[in-house]
Structure 1
Amino acid sequence: MSQKNKLSLSVQYPDPRLKEIILRTNLRRWVQAALFAPAELTIRFVDAEEGRTLNREYRGKDYATNVLTFAYTEDEESEVTQADIILCTDVLQREADEQKKSVQAHTAHLVVHGVLHAQGYDHETDEEATEMEQLEIEILATLGEANPYSA
């Protein structure tokens, strides 16, 4: 996790009002906090319909999810991490309300989560989940964000 890693970041906001709610400067800060290597990333915000379609087509799950990561360089030898991170604004906002968190705090968590996935981290097993959650907690703490897993 270093501020020194080179980052090429593209952000796609389908709704221009999102630019005022979730600032590009914050997205960049959250991404850089979770990077272990240089990266070329796209963060795209989508609605529930597009999120559901992507989740169904690529994961076989017929519902909109909060974050999807399409990593293009998951092998250890890649010098640059390349990925698309898809955030579903409808799900993100609903979860933030349900969890009594700000949209900013929840977005920070999901961005960090997505960036870790882009770098090969996963949570398919309990051991992987524990490792990934601990990393998320540590990274978010450096950003001044609370532990997203505490009640």
Structure 2
Amino acid sequence: MTRGPIRLDVAVGYAIPRKGLPSAVSFRKWSAAALAGRIREADLAIRVVGTKEGRALNRHYRGRDYATNVLSFPAELPDGLPPGVRMPLLGDLVICAPVVAREAREQKKPLAAHYAHLTVHGVLHLLGWDHGDDREAEAMEQLEREILAGLGIDDPYLPGPD
């Protein structure tokens, strides 16, 4: 765990009209909460896209022909960095707005809370967290619950109200 303030640069791009979407300030707040105590400095980019782009990226990078809610692209260099060079680049997130909106409706969850959850989830992936097996999934989900609770957001894994 690192202590002290984080130096964070979050670039947010909107590939679709911004009406009804979270602000860049919100995405930065959610990202900072996920990174707090885990990293001292980070640069990351978040791109909010429509279904067509989300589907194309998921198909190209994951071989799945549908749009998904969030894609994480960690910044990795094949040979690492030269000695003494520091690079705070964490990676990129792509969030598909129509999928997020549909899921929030289906799960009867506030839209902003679902965006917060997916942003935290994606940032944790950029830090190397995964959910490839039950043990990893439970650990990652518990961390997400704790981070979101710190933001005043209910457990995202509980069913929404009926």
Q: Does 1:64 align with 2:39?
A: no
Q: CA contact under 8 A between 1:3 and 1:33: conserved in structure 2?
A: no
Shift of 1:17: 2.6
CA drift of 1:15 comes to 2.8
Greater CA drift, 119-128 or 80-89: 80-89
Question: Whole-Å Cα distance in 2 between the matches of residues 69 and 84 of structure 1?
Answer: 6
Instruction: Give the CA deviation at 1:82.
Output: 1.6
More helix by share: 1
- Shift in CA distance, 113/59, structure 1 to aligned 2, threshold 3 Å: same
Which of 111, 126, 130 aligns to 1:122? It is 130
Alignment of 1:2-151 (within 5 A): 4-18=5-19, 21-35=21-35, 36-37=38-39, 38-73=41-76, 80-151=88-159
Structure of higher CA gyration radius:
2
Question: 1:11-51 CA distances to partner (integer Å, 9 max, x unpaired)?
Answer: 00123434x63111111110000012121100000111111
In structure 2, the CA distance between the partners of 1:136 and 1:65, relative to structure 1 (3 Å rule), is same
**Secondary structure of the corresponding residue to residue 158 of structure 2:** coil
Residues 73, 91 of structure 2: 8 Å contact kept: yes
The gaps in structure 2 that reach 5 residues or longer are: none
- Distance of 1:131 and 1:16 partners within structure 2: 35
Q: Which amino acid aligns with 2:111?
A: V
Equivalenced residue count is 148
In structure 1, what residue type is equivalent to 2:116? A
SS at match of 1:21: coil
Kindly, what percent of the aligned residue pairs are identical?
Answer: 49
TM-score normalized with structure 2 length: 0.85
C-alpha distance in structure 2 between counterparts of 1:29 and 1:102, whole Å: 17
3-state DSSP of counterpart to 1:45? strand
Q: Which runs of 5+ in 1 are unaligned?
A: none
- 1:89-138 deviation per Cα after TM superposition (whole angstroms, max 9, x unaligned): 01000001001111100000000000000000000111110110000000
C-alpha separation in 1, matches of 2:68 and 2:4: 29
Q: Displacement, 1:72?
A: 1.0
Distance 1:13 1:31 in 2: 17
